[in-house]
Amino acid sequence: MKNLMIALLFLPAFVSAQYGIKKCHTDLVFGYDYGDRINFDKDGFEDRSVSSLQTFRIGANVRYPISQSQRWFLVTGFRVAGRLSHEDFFIIGTKPQTPPAKHYQITSQDVFAELPFRSRFVLKNINRENRLFLEGGIQFNIYVFSHWKEEYSEQFGGEIEDERIERTNNFQDMFLTSNLSFGWETEIRNGPEFFIQAIGRLELMPADNYDANAIHVGIETGFRF
């Protein structure tokens, strides 16, 4: 939680930048990613399966022009992302003193603060209101906490459910991701702009200390003010 509080200190600067910096615009961003781990055998252990990764995010971008032609922009910002995963496995007692067989189902939602640093290039001005753009760069991801929901059943003992919020040692405090996206933006009746972009992300450093790098594809959309 301390990491999230520190990261939130950046938010007022991002959402109010357009009022203090000339030609700067603020984006309200919503996103969804679907991803999986690279070279990771999800069924590598007997009676064990691990789901793919789904990520939902909300946050703000700041876009600032860095060329006279108004075709190159610097994009940074702040987002909060929740990554959802599921694990299903068995633990089977092999000795008389060990517990009976247990079937575990664990659903975890891991929360990260994200700080992107990207360059955006306007590929084509279709007309005065519509543009196509390409955007790419890196992103710092700060681990905040995890929400765990664990259900398990014993062979002779019925079902037990446990739910908790905590920090774990599974994740690095900070890891790095690269990303590349292609998008379209349009002006809404001389007011805010709507944008949508397809995006791919690659973990340059794995998020999980005991896992593999992951690759994600998804959609980001929102409004620019």
Q: What is the pLDDT along the chain (225 residues), one digit of tens a residue?
A: 555 554 455 554 444 444 445 577 888 999 999 998 887 665 555 566 788 899 999 999 988 888 887 889 999 999 999 999 988 877 666 555 555 567 778 899 999 999 999 999 999 888 878 999 999 999 999 999 999 888 877 655 567 778 889 898 888 999 999 999 999 999 987 778 999 999 999 999 888 876 678 899 999 999 988
63-67: long-range contacts (C-beta < 8 A, 24 or more apart)?
63/24, 63/25, 63/26, 63/27, 63/120, 63/224, 64/17, 64/21, 64/23, 64/24, 64/25, 65/23
Question: In Å, how far are 140, 158, 167, 200, 217 from 137, measured between CA atoms?
Answer: 10, 50, 28, 11, 15
What proportion of the chain, given as a percentage, has pLDDT over 90? Answer: 44
**What was the pLDDT predicted at 24?**
76
Q: Is there a contact between 171 and 27 (Cβ–Cβ < 8 Å)?
A: no
